[in-house]
Amino acid sequence: MKKITYLSIFATGALAAAMGISLVSGQSPVAPPSNQEAFVNAAESTINGVVSVKSYATPRQQQYMGNGGGFFDDPFFEYFFGGPRQQPRQQQQPRESEQRQIGLGSGVIISADGYIVTNNHVIADAERLEVTLNDNRNYNATVIGADPTTDLALIKIDAPNLHVIPMGNSEDLHVGEWVLAVGNPFGFTSTVTSGIVSAKARNISSATQSMSAGNIESYIQTDAALNSGNSGGALVNLNGELVGINAAIYSKTGTYAGCSFAIPTSIVKKVTDDLRQYGTVQRALLGISFRELTPEFIKEKDIKGVNAGIYVASVADRSAAREAGLEEGDVIVELNGTPATTTAQVQEAIAKCSPGETIAITFFRDGKKMHKNAVLRNDQGNTDIRRPGSITDLGCAFSKAPKETLSQLQLSHGVQVKGLQDGRMKDAGIRDGFIILSVNGARISSPEEIEKIYDSIIKSADQDKVLFIKGIYPTGKQAFYAVPLVD
């Protein structure tokens, strides 16, 4: 079975032996001799702008790796983490307080004062991040923000005068154009491979049915050789400009087989600018569910005037699409004057925008070509600036329920609400001392599990961000609460 492999390494010790991987990479294309100087110049100008990113966590955290939702949990997708899906449980677990290296990926310096872009799956659930520059200097990094929806993250190190790879425009790329990939495959630093752009606006997961759910995928496909450890590394053109962040390969074996994928800078720039300015992405939504046209579907629906496009299956209430007058059965063919006939093209066009921006829509209705403008909105149906949520917004602390209380109530687990103050928990009706048994159907045994669920919901693309809490008071009274996380 073919699978998508995300290119972080999750292993320790003897890397190749532990992961059971062959150190034989696929053959990269040979550059035309006339372009050799351009290749050399591009490589020399970029290798100092790519870093190694190591992630560390205590063993108790490793059970969460790869459970971020979206296409990363799809059985057809697989991380290169060597996490619990791939490694047997050891008989002796290390001490919980002892951090271990659990991941290795790459990152790209985008500002001289230390901002670095990488993949979200490289840094997800890490307790500590360590960045190594090409000259072997090491720094601890802090996470500025992360966006699982696009699989991008922005981190920062405290270092001056860093080498920056200039941001290029991925929309200017052409199929057949030469590109270089720079990263740390198998832990080998400053590795450069070459290839051509094989395709643009490629969607590699199962078909997306709605713009408001799932992940945004509009990849640049290349045949530059990538392997585990390349995640978060640079895809550059022959001018030495960043045009993408390498993220995945398509392979039967989990190693390079000729199809590599990078997130285009059209999306990278928007996401990193938002994370840097607001701490969270200001994501715009059109407010439709849709499917791509196929010959069979065109015949089934008797669609006239167009052979390729996005069929509007439904229009959400209080959405930009409804305000603009889109209707079920419309077929979108362009957004802001660029083709939008595939899921990936629609996702990329919307992902570049912010709530409040106007997007021009060209579509067919009953065989007639029409044009409308829509003012895009956020997931709450307005154009307000969104700020990242914090678990402190709940207005309480959490601690493991006392053993004597659990024994009295004949419970095996639970987390107690302490120090209740004004906040979302109090607004929902929860009182001090309440023992939380489950959140959104997940059994709760520690405060860290509540924080994990909270962070996952806040970072998700779901419009309805709610904690559904089931629990019991020390008196034995059971209760259920819904705690909204957004206003």
Q: Is 231 one of the catalytic residues?
A: yes
The token duo for 420 is 């209740």
The answer for 366, left when phi > 0, alpha when psi is -120 to 50, beta otherwise, is left
Question: What span, in angstroms and rounded, lies between the C-alpha atoms of 264 and 64?
Answer: 28
Catalytic: which of 106, 121, 266, 455?
Answer: 121
Question: What span, in angstroms and rounded, lies between the C-alpha atoms of 290 and 269?
Answer: 26
**In angstroms, how far apart are the furthest CA atoms of the chain?**
81
Would you list the DSSP string of 247-267?
A: EEEEESSSS--SEEEEEEHHH
Catalytic: which of 147, 151, 274, 379?
Answer: 151
Catalytic: which of 52, 106, 194, 231?
Answer: 231
The token duo for 140 is 């601890």
- With the CA atoms of 452, 457, 460 and 463 taken in that order, what torsion angle do they form, in degrees rounded to the nearest 10? 180
Classified as helix, coil or strand, 215 is: coil
Closest CA to 322 of 286, 357, 351: 286
Going by their DSSP bridges, the two strands 259-264 and 50-57 should be labelled as unpaired
Radius of gyration of the chain (CA): 24
The token duo for 46 is 């970029």
Q: What is the DSSP secondary structure assignment for residue 83, as one 8-state letter?
A: -
CB atoms within 10 A of CB 253: 12
Would you list the DSSP string of 406-461?
A: HHHHT-S--EEEES--SSHHHHTT--TT-EEEEETTEE--SHHHHHHHHHHHHHS-
Going by their DSSP bridges, the two strands 397-400 and 178-183 should be labelled as unpaired
End-to-end CA distance of the chain: 44
Output phi, psi for 443, to 5 deg. -60, 135
Closest CA to 111 of 296, 272, 317: 272
CA distances from 102 to 44, 169, 229, 256, 389 (A): 30, 33, 12, 22, 27
Active site residues: 121, 151, 231
